[in-house]
Chain A
Amino acid sequence: GEDVEQSLFLSVREGDSSVINCTYTDSSSTYLYWYKQEPGAGLQLLTYIFSNMDMKQDQRLTVLLNKKDKHLSLRIADTQTGDSAIYFCAEKKSGGGFKTIFGAGTRLFVKA
């Protein structure tokens, strides 16, 4: 299967919290990332977490890492219409040239 998996679609109401989930396979990954892609644009790094951390909070964003289950989540508090985008989970491999492997992306749709 794919190295990084995430659901393809999430719909929330404006003001609610969004939780985007991701699973990965490489337990030796050093960094895990969340990127945001707006229509027709490249990827923007939102946040990242080092593999020895469980949680990282940055304003409205909270990243949770469960290393045992190889599960990563991104929580967006007070979701706004401007948060509508595709969110990619990614892991940086610890070897093999430190390649970054991406999931398929979760399309977040925020309803006003």
Chain B
Amino acid sequence: GAVVSQHPSRVICKSGTSVKIECRSLDFQATTMFWYRQFPKKSLMLMATSNEGSKATYEQGVEKDKFLINHASLTLSTLTVTSAHPEDSSFYICSARERVQGAYNEQFFGPGTRLTVL
């Protein structure tokens, strides 16, 4: 199957700093990328959906000024957590989907990034 990578896999930062997480589709063109946040014992929470070349669509309750998403190319999307605070500590997972060709298009998931804010 297609491969999605994330970098870094783990990051520790001080409160108040910004952190950028990269998501890359390695062998396909991802017209749509999704960013999720995973809480312990809770479902993956969809944060935002981004289509290449356009602004991301954020889910209700997700601050777009705090979680900046850029999908500048068909293989790269970035999530920047600005002015991070300890409550932003979480496991962030991206997924990517190719251009919708038919009724079914699989989302391929990255391995996730563990963010710890001290």
Contacts and interface: CB of A to CB of B under 8 A. Distances in A.
A68 to B, nearest CB: 22
Contacts of B104: 31, 48, 50
A42 B43 contact: no
Interface string B44-73: 101001000000010000000000000000
A41 B111 contact: yes
Given A8-B41, A31-B104, A104-B41, A99 B46 contact: yes
A42 B49 contact: no
B93 A97 contact: no
A42 B7 CA distance: 13
Interface of A: 2, 4, 8, 30-31, 35, 40-45, 48, 50, 88, 97-105
